[in-house]
Amino acid sequence: MRWGFLIISFIFLFLTSFVSATYTPTLLGSGYSPEVSEEIVVWSMPNNTDGTYQMEIYDINNNETTIFPERYWIIGNWKIFENYILYTYMNIGNTTSHYAIYNLETKENKILPELDEFTCNGAPYSDLEENKVYFVSCEINPIYYKGNYIYEYDLNTKEIKKIISKNDRLQGFEVDNQNIFYLYESNQYERDLTLFSIQENKQNKIIKNSGKYLSSPQISEDNLVWIGRRSLNSTDYWQVFNYNLKTEEIKQITNTNFHNILPDIYQNKIVWKSPLGLFFYDLDMGVQTNLVNSPYIYYPKIYGDKVVYQSGVRIYLIDLS
């Protein structure tokens, strides 16, 4: 369907049902950059003795925490798919990033040295779906992530295949249901959101009209979410947007006089942070909820009815059920 026939609706905050609900967050531990799935939460735990970091996993069902003995200079960029955790790390005294994957069922931690030659400075973006790892290489300028190519790595065959080639600067991507939702900076911070079908091996959508400046693309099934702003003026703020692949409808979720950043989505549920705290929006109900009243919220993530976030150097879990 041509873009001119798309239905574009803007749902502003003053038209949206707003609820300030009371939830009691559960403190899980100390650390940074959490990620959540149906059964676990994983984060980077600081080791106060030597300044290194370790992987810590919390079992939601059994209320048990496991701390891994390996210490790294940096560890994070978690992606969870079924029984696997994909992550990147830097060894102590080394600035080169490496990929690894941990099997929650067998407890096997597998290093992926095949990907080392493609690693960007900091290995900024990667994802995991089925038995495939999707990652970025920086083949023109690794410092500024210029010339970012997205690759697919088959964990079974060890085959590495280039999926998307761009000479522009990649600003993020997510993979879900055989679709790659990615964001490239084309010219002077002008950015385009694009949907690429892995199965069809072709670009399907370019999403515009949500602001000249775009960031933080996320995808879950038929729903996409990101933040956008019209300019870099001090009176123009980052707002949350949603696009549905079936209805081809763009919704502006927020319209505030402050920034809304770090969105995440699971099916029809969106979370993000603002100076007023942690927010949740149900796309089906059209209801926005202020989950936590605190400006010190970082890295909110959602899976099902579980929301995790970092506040200060502590990791919290909220159960929405």
Domain contains 108: no
Residue among 292, 285, 289 nearest 310 (CA): 292
In 98-136, which positions are buried (b, 16+ CB within 10 angstroms) versus exposed (e)?
Answer: bbbbbebeeeeeeebeebeebbbebbbbbbbbeebbbbb
Q: Does residue 268 fall inside a structural domain?
A: yes
pLDDT in tens, 153-188: 999 999 999 998 776 677 788 999 899 998 877 665
pLDDT at 17: 60
- The pLDDT score that the predictor gives to residue 140 is 52
Structural domains in the chain (count): 1
Q: What is the pLDDT of residue 187?
A: 61
Inside any domain, residue 128: no
- CA-CA distance, 233 to 125, in Å (whole number)? 28
> What is the tens place of the pLDDT at every residue in 60-80?
999 999 999 889 998 999 999
Residue 276 included in any domain? yes
With 60 as the cut, is the pLDDT of residue 2 above it?
A: no
User: Which band of pLDDT confidence, cut at 50, 70 and 90, is reported for residue 190?
Assistant: low
Chain segment 200-215, per-residue pLDDT in tens? 998 888 777 666 788 8
The full length of the chain comes to 321
Is residue 239 over pLDDT 90?
yes
SS3 assignment, position 303: strand
Indicate whether 120 belongs to any domain.
Answer: no
The residue segments making up the domain with residue 280 are: 1-25+213-296
> What per-residue confidence (pLDDT) applies to 272?
98
Q: List the CATH number of the domain containing 243.
A: 2.120.10.30
Per residue in 88-116, pLDDT (tens digit) is: 999 888 878 889 999 999 999 999 999 98
Percent of the chain whose predicted confidence (pLDDT) is above 70: 85
Residue 42 lies in a domain: no
Instruction: Say what the pLDDT of residue 154 is.
Output: 96
Give domain status of residue 275, yes or no.
yes
Q: Is residue 48 part of a domain?
A: no
